[in-house]
Amino acid sequence: MLKWLLSLLAGGLRSSNAPPHLPSRPLPTRRIALVVGHNPRAQGAVRVTDGRTEYDWCGALAEQVAALEPGRYVVIRRTPGAGEIARAYAEVDASGATASVELHFNSFSTPSATGTETLISGSAASRRLATLVQAEMVAALGLRDRGLKQTAPKQGGHAALNAGRPPAILIEPYFGSNRADCEAADRSLPALAAGIHRACLAYL
């Protein structure tokens, strides 16, 4: 009898010390795909201040946005070779993303070119997401508002904006060819990431 009581008490102590079972939280059903522009072999434009490329700088921005709510975003990096854009947006489609945002920065031969713009496919959903993101980027960076621009066939960005099924936008927060723009982007990077995140949540 004593042995049975001792074993019962020991079992009770073991069960009381066991960690409680916590149900796992499901991933959000509505997510945004963040597509990093360019690829490791062809990294796009280069910043006048520090030589960082679009692929490098925008990759860091994508990770900062995604870190604000893990599970709300999927970060997709384009890979070199023929069919690069088609492969990236096949990943967007496979991810089940509600919409996609491709990240770039602008560049121009004239160093005075400045400002923030967003390219759209022309669909109502693309325009709605772009309107939200553009407003947040302008507020974060304080640069000239260059507005939304719908691309035409054979224009830069058109293929990416029309390659996947979900609504797509392509952001150009600043000009890497403009020193003051680069400095504003670096100074306001946390605010920029937070603004893009707010806009994406508002869209969702």
Structural domain spans, the chain:
29-203
Query: 29-203 — its CATH code?
Result: 3.40.630.40
pLDDT, tens digit, 9 for 90 and up, residues 128-170: 999 999 999 999 999 999 999 999 888 889 999 999 999 999 9
pLDDT in tens, the chain (204 residues): 545 444 544 444 444 454 455 455 555 679 999 999 999 999 999 999 999 999 999 999 999 999 999 999 999 999 999 999 999 999 999 999 999 999 999 999 999 999 999 999 999 999 999 999 999 999 999 999 999 999 988 888 999 999 999 999 999 999 999 999 999 999 999 999 999 999 999 999
What length does the chain have? Answer: 204
Q: Could you give the CA distance from residue 87 to residue 85 in angstroms, rounded to a whole number?
A: 5
pTM given for the model: 0.86
Query: Number of C-alpha atoms within 13 angstroms, CB side, residue 90?
Result: 6
Structure tokens at 175: 């000009």
User: Shortest CA distance to 47 belongs to which of 179, 193, 191?
Assistant: 179
Count other C-beta atoms under 10 Å from residue 201's C-beta. 14
Three-state SS for 137? helix
pLDDT, tens digit, 9 for 90 and up, residues 113-137: 999 999 999 999 999 999 999 999 9
Please give the backbone phi and psi of residue 149, each rounded to the nearest 5 degrees, phi first. Answer: -130, 120
Strands 116-120 and 168-172, bridge-based pairing: antiparallel
